[in-house]
Structure 1
Amino acid sequence: MLLQKFTKSEIKILEEMLANPFKGYSLSFLKKEIGISYMSIFRVVKRLEEIGILKDVSISGKKLRVLNFSNQLLLKLLEISEIEKKMKAEPKLSEVLDSLSERLIETFREKFLMMILPKFQTKKELLDRPKIDLLIVAAEQNENSQRIIDEMLMKTEYQNIAATLVSLDDFFWEIKKEFESFKKAWKDMGIIYGEQAFWKEVSKLNEKNIISDEILYSNIT
């Protein structure tokens, strides 16, 4: 199993950072959070940097460690995290969303990139909400694709699910305009399918400095 490749301390650091992917961490903060000595935290972080999962950035003159979203091993860990988050959602809804993502993959193939639920709801919240709004991100957008998605949703067990289709370019154009607001909303969002695709795109924009380190990461000291 993938997680067996890591020590307990490494897993603790990764769990903390995967839960807050838009944050940059100082060694002193990680030392306090993880509860091990400074030398131990230094060795653990150094190993995670050597295998490419972490990288260091300079924000406001401070050296911080952040997740390196261009690293394939990290993307695999994100996939595991994505599955775990889905399992926490109301089970029946999870089945519906899994089935829907499978049909989207089959219908649109590589054009279908992500399916995002604004918030993972409990069963009670699902009953109280008049509608569940999904955001579906595709390589391109057209009226026919939206019609096909609407027809799929009509056949699901949950009749209160609606989905809006957007292109990848439009999705990231909106995110870039209000990136701070997007980061704050992140904890209430759930990427049902396509978390790897999301972070790959973020990594590309970061490497081109379209989304700079200063914008992408908040400073945790």
Structure 2
Amino acid sequence: MEADAQVTQLEQALIHQAESLAREQRERAESGKARILNEASEKIRLAEEREVMAAKAEAEKQVRHQAQAAETRLAAELDRLRWALTEATLSSVRMAFQELVDDDERYLAVLEQWLAAATLALPAGDLVAEVRPADKPRLVSGWEQIAARVAPGRKLELGVLEQISEGGIRVRLADNRARLDQTFEARESRLADELARVAMERLFASAPDLGTLVHG
């Protein structure tokens, strides 16, 4: 009986030991499984993050390219519109100036105004006022009176412009030391930048009055 009890105790001890080993193996297996699953999940998460970041970077790149292309197209369109508006403005100004030239009373008054401003701006000395050949006969009859009003005490000769002009007047010292060009072309050239600015403003709002180009 004693031998049987010892055998039974040994068997139970072996069973407990086997159960303990099995439990430890199971726990290690579960721990390993959890670790593997965690590592796999982390790798998947990192891979997904990389894919998302790569997709985001590519999307941002595409957006930048599209924005740059849109800006280039917009700049080109604005340049085209600015040119068209500038040309339209110049055309309108030329028409207004031509109407002024055709009106004797208004045109001669403007020429006298520009002439008076030039005589004040130019240094002392004899003066020559040059106008279009077509305008000289319009001024000759009253030239002495005009000269007396705008340049008292100074010699003021009436001449003609050598270059073709829409109208206006150019005043210079007789010795050519200085001059003030108030022909339409000179005034238009001086106001070219202003016309471009006005054209851009008219893309978004109403343009300022351009009457100074015609009337000073």
Same fold (TM > 0.5):
no
Q: Comparing both structures, which one devotes a greater share of its residues to helix? A: 2
Q: What TM-score do the two structures reach when normalised by structure 1?
A: 0.28
Q: Comparing both structures, which one devotes a greater share of its residues to strand? A: 1
Q: What TM-score do the two structures reach when normalised by structure 2?
A: 0.29
Rg (Cα) greater in structure: 2
The structure, 1 or 2, with the larger RCO (C-alpha pairs under 8 Å, 6+ apart) is 1
